[in-house]
Amino acid sequence: MANEIADRTPVAAARGASHYPGTRVVAFVLLVAFALVAPLVLTEYWIKAIAIPTIIFGLSAFGLNLVTGYAGLISMGQAAFMALGAFTAVIAYGRFGVPVPLAIMLGGAVAALMGVLVGTPSLRIKGLYLMVATLASQFIIIWALQRVPWTGSGSFATLNTPPVRIAGWDVSTPTDKYYLVLAVVALMTFFGYNLVRSRVGRAWMALREHDVAASVMGVSMLQYKLMAFLVSSFYAGVAGALVVFGYTGAASVQEYELDVSIKILGMIIVGGLGSVLGSYLGAAFIMLLPILLAVLMQKAAAALGGSPAAVDTLANAEHVVFGALVLYFLIKEPKGLAELWHRLAAWVDKQWYPINGAQLGGIK
């Protein structure tokens, strides 16, 4: 029997079909390898301006996905939680000399506390009411960070971090920053990946499908809804701290306005609601979108003989395309890029191992 299969698929036979671990596993290994050597392969610009923010926003999107994609609670305040994390981290490190890893944790913790506070109404209200609560917190947090004198952010609402040092390691070059960000994000993704596959993740999904029904079956609404907000805003806070230590070197209120919250929401819609992989795919896609558009519009302008598009036009075109993408994925592909990838992986599996390719193990 095994020989017959091997005969029919010479490629698989040549590589030892029975040992092929599945496309997802192969892709995962390749991705890890690439992530580790990226600074050697990519130019400094790509590391500094694209890889680092993509990973950081991917983490924040993952956090939002926990509360929105898994637990089904809308949040429009993810950017404000990032801002809280950023300001906490920079104040802890810059003013009080708290070590960087602790400052990052602290940033997450403060954001998480606020997240629980904002999430409290979610026990009684749902849908649009919760949306307004999170929207309100978005405005209030940003406003407070600008106005409370203790933050010391002043009229520009910006705090710079002193040079980042972790136990003798100077995190100064883009490569250093990249590895710092990568390490933290990898750790937290591993944790979150396991969390959503645990009792907690299943409880969230039960609440998402029908919260009253779930609570009748013994899933504590109080505990799990607040936990969703707690974990989600913790992730946002850490992402904000990483922006300070690994990306821009400053906490700045302007970088966390409402449009950023909407962008993060767009990331998880495009990437895939309720998918770990989708959070990062969506983040990468949305971060690359402006570059892609710029190139396309340049090409179009060159082809039509027109002048290159202005920065304004480009930003507005990005708005339009972003909105269209969100709508497209909501209507046509509600599970997002993650689902497209799964389909592709299954197809490749099938080419390699036509009988039971679908049963190959892999990473979801």
Q: Which residues bind other proteins (CB under 8 A)?
A: 68, 72, 74, 120-121, 124-125, 127-129, 131-133, 135-137, 139-140, 143, 146-147, 210, 212-213, 216, 258, 262, 265-266, 269, 312-313, 316-327, 330-331, 334
Q: Cβ closer to other proteins: 36 or 128? A: 128
Q: How far apart are CA 46 and CA 24, in angstroms?
A: 26
298 vs 316 by CB, closer to other proteins: 316
Which of 176, 333 has the CB closer to other proteins? 333
Nearest to 214 by CA among 72, 20, 59, 28: 72
Minimum distance of other proteins from residue 317's CB (angstroms) = 7
Which CB atom, from 8 or from 210, has the smaller least distance to other proteins?
Answer: 210
Closer residue to other proteins (CB): 33 or 324: 324
Least distance from other proteins to the Cβ atom of residue 339, Å: 15
Q: Which is nearer to other proteins, 21 or 323 (CB)?
A: 323
Q: What is the rounded distance in angstroms from the CA atom of residue 253 to the CA atom of residue 205?
A: 33
In the complex, minimum distance from the CB of residue 76 to other proteins, in angstroms, rounded to a whole number: 9
Residue 119 beta carbon to other proteins: minimum distance, rounded to whole angstroms: 11
Task: Round to whole Å and give the CA distance between 104 and 237.
Answer: 8
* Minimum distance of other proteins from residue 336's CB (angstroms): 12
Beta pairing partners, 170: 165
Q: What's the length of the chain?
A: 364
CA distances in angstroms from 206 to 96, 201, 268, 299, listed in the order given: 43, 9, 20, 48
Residue 51 or 267 having the CB closest to other proteins: 267
Rg of the Cα atoms in the chain: 22
Least separation in angstroms between residue 59's CB and other proteins is 21
Q: How far is the CB of 261 from other proteins (least distance, A)?
A: 10
